[in-house]
Amino acid sequence: MAKRVLVLNGPNLNLLGTREPDIYGAATLKDVETLCKQTGEEVGLSVDFRQSNHEGELVTWIQDARKTADAILINPAAYSHTSVAIHDALKAVGLPVAEVHLSNIHQREAFRHHSYVSAVAFGVICGFGVTGYRLALMALADKLK
């Protein structure tokens, strides 16, 4: 059976395509979902793709992943820089986590340089735009072999 990856997207990523396209690119969240599903098929992963603007909803989905997923790919968006709750949930669940950012957060404002998620992720990809999701899924497929 294919291993299952829960792909989570945090706040404002529903606006991809129209949101600061010079920073985040022209692809919509639907395009990112299509890319993730296609990549999943190529590397033998089933992909459950979600987005929420609510921290608590993301925490609940992470908790539920104990029963429904083998790994988590997360772009926590702004919650990367603020959320101890998401950090704690990922740690509690103990699944392999890949963290993705479309933009190079280290090249941007100082408040984006720290992510609470990075300490509980086995790898972090940033700055490669939507390709980062593809790279992270490939890395997760290797990790889950």
* Catalytic machinery residues: 24, 101
| 78 near ligand DQA (CB under 6 A) | yes
Number of residues this chain uses to bind ligand DQA (CB under 6 A): 10
What residues form DSSP beta bridges with 71? 5
- Give, as ranges, the residues between 8 and 67 that touch ligand DQA (CB under 6 A): 12
Which of residues 47, 62, 77, 117 is near ligand DQA by CB under 6 A? 77
Q: Alpha-carbon distance 13 to 77, whole Å?
A: 7
From the CB of 21, what's the least distance to ligand DQA, in Å?
12
Q: Are 136 and 98 in contact, with CB atoms under 8 Å apart?
A: yes
From the CB of 58, what's the least distance to ligand DQA, in Å?
13
Q: Quick one: 37 or 81, whose CB is closer to ligand DQA?
A: 81
> Would you give the binding string for ligand DQA spanning residues 91-130, x where CB under 6 A is met?
----------xxx-x------x------------------
**Using CB under 6 A, which of the segments 46-54, 70-78, 116-124, 135-143 binds ligand DQA?**
70-78
| 73 near ligand DQA (CB under 6 A) | no
Long-range contacts of 101-105 (CB under 8 A, 24+ apart): 101/75, 101/125, 101/126, 101/127, 101/132, 102/16, 102/23, 102/24, 102/25, 102/75, 102/126, 102/127, 102/128, 102/129, 102/130, 102/132, 103/23, 103/24, 103/127, 105/80
